[in-house]
A and B are shown apart, each in its own frame.
Chain A
Amino acid sequence: MHNCKTTRERLTELLLDGADPRMVLAPELRACAECREEFDALNETLRAATRLIETATPPESYWPGYHERLKQRLHAAQQPRVEPGQYVHSRSWLTRFFVSSIRVPVPVGLAIIMIVGLAFALSIRVPAEPSIVHVPVEVPVIQERTVERIVYREKRSRKARPRQVSTRHDSTLASLEGFKPAEEVKLTVIKGGSGNEK
C-alpha cells in the first residue's frame, strides 16, 4: 500500500545517503505523481547545496596564507603542555598551592556561596545560648511568726448602755476594783426654766 509520507521520508534518507532512490523506490515513484515531483524537488535542492561546496572552496592560492597564519597562532599560543601524571617542577608546591584553581560549575559555586553566607548571617543574628552554671549561694531566711492577740477596747459613748451584768454582776464588780473613771460628767441645772428643761 503506497504511503506518500513514508515514501517522502525514504526519499530524503536515500538522497542524503547519496543513493539513487529511483532504484530503490521505483514502484512508488511510478505509482505516485506527487512523490515523483517531491523527488525531483528534493534532488534539485540537495544538488544545489552540494554544488555550493565546489563554489565556496577557496582557490589553492588561499591556503599557504591560511597555514602561515595558523602557524603564527600556534606559536603564539604555544605553552608547555602537561602530560597526565606529569608535574611541573618549575614552581614550588607552596606557590602552586596558592596559584592553583579548580573549576567549579556556576550553580555549585553559587550554592556554596549562599550556604556560607547564610551560615555567617545566622551566626551573627542568633546569640549564643547562655551556659548554665550551678553555684551554691547562701541566702538568709527570715523566719516570721504570726501572733494573734485579741484586744478589747472600751467604747466611748455619752450614754451608757445598759449592761448585761445581771448574771455576771459579782465578777464584774470584782474586776472593777481600782478602776478610776477617766472622765467626769458635769450636770448643770438652770433654775427658772420651763417644765421641759432638765
Chain B
Amino acid sequence: MTDNEADLIRRAQADDANAFCSLAERYARRIYLLAFHYCRNAQDAEDLSQEVWLKAYQALAGFRSDSSFYTWLRRITINAFLNHQRAGTFRQQGQTTVVELVDADSEAVFDSRAASPETVYNKVLFESVMNALEELTPSQRLMFLLRHYDGMSYDEIAAAMNCSTGTVKKGVSRAISKLRAKLDTDNDEPERLTRLAEC
C-alpha cells in the first residue's frame, strides 16, 4: 500500500467522499471486469461493481490495514457476487453486451464497415468466450475468474468462498474443461467471420 493510498484511505474513513472516489478510480476497472465476466452483462456489471463500492464505503471504518486495500475490497466483491447469485437478480444474458455498450459510447470502436479482420476476430472470440462462460455455473465461473484473472491461490479462493480447497480445484478444472469444449465447438466461427470482414 503506497503512502498516497494510505492517505486516501484515512481521508475516506474520515468521511471524505472525494478521497473515496479517488480510491475507486484506481480499482474500478478491475472490479468492473470481474463483475462483467461474472454476470456477462454490461448494465449488471455496472450496477454490481457500484454496489461493491457503496458497500466498501459503508464498511471502510472497519478496514484496519491488516491486508492490502484490494484484498479487502475483493472480499467485499466476492460477497456481493455471491449475494446476487443467491438472489438471482441478474438480467437475462445478452440484453446488453459490452461491445454494444462500447459501440454506443464511442462510435469509432467498432464500425463493421471499417473493422479490421483482427477487430472482427476479437469480437467473435469475445462472443465465443462469453458463450463459453455462460455454460459454467455461477460458482465455477467465479472460481475460474478469481484464479485466472485475479491470480488468487486455491486456498485464498476457498477461504473467500467458504468452501474447501478441493472444491475450488475441482471447480476450476471443470470450468476450464467446459471452456475448452465450447471454444473447440466454435473454432470455425472466427475464420468464417474474418473472411466476411475481408470481403
Interface residues of chain A, those whose CB is within 8 Å of chain B, are 9, 12, 16, 18, 41-42, 44-46, 48-59, 61-63, 66-67, 69-71, 73-75, 77-78, 81-84
Contact = CB atoms under 8 A, between A and B. Distances in A.
Given A42-B180, A48-B183, A74-B53, A56 B105 contact: no
A71 B18 CA distance: 8
Contacts of B81: none
Contacts of B61: 81-84
B65 interface: no
Interface string B70-93: 000000000000000000000000
A55 B126 contact: yes
A19 to B, nearest CB: 12
Contacts of B25: 63, 67
Contacts of B176: 12, 42, 45-46
Across the A-B interface, the 10 shortest Cβ-Cβ residue pairs: A55-B126, A45-B180, A52-B129, A55-B122, A56-B98, A59-B106, A61-B106, A62-B105, A45-B179, A70-B50
B6 interface: no
Contacts of B173: 9, 12
Nearest to A51: B125
Contacts, number: 109
13 contacts: A16-B148, A51-B122, A52-B125, A52-B126, A55-B99, A55-B123, A56-B126, A58-B101, A63-B25, A66-B50, A69-B50, A73-B53, A74-B57
* Chain B interface size, under 10 / 10 to 19 / 20 to 34 / 35 or more: 35 or more
B33 A66 contact: no
Contacts of A71: 17, 21
A73 B122 CA distance: 34
B172 A16 contact: yes
B54 interface: yes
Q: Which of A56, A62, A74 has the most CB of B within 10 A?
A: A56
Contacts of A61: 105-106
Contacts of B197: none
B180 A55 contact: no
Interface in B109-136: 109, 122-123, 125-126, 128-130
A75 B99 CA distance: 30
A52 B130 contact: yes
Q: Which of A9, A18, A42, A58 has the most CB of B within 10 A?
A: A58
B101 A74 contact: no
Contact of B24 (A9, A62, A67): A67
A51 B62 CA distance: 36
A59 B128 contact: no
Contacts of B102: 58-59, 62
B183 A45 contact: yes
Nearest to B178: A45
B27 to A, nearest CB: 12
A49 B46 contact: no
Contact of B28 (A44, A49, A67, A78): A67
Contacts of A56: 33, 36-37, 98, 126
Interface in B1-40: 15, 17, 20-21, 24-25, 28-29, 32-33, 36-37
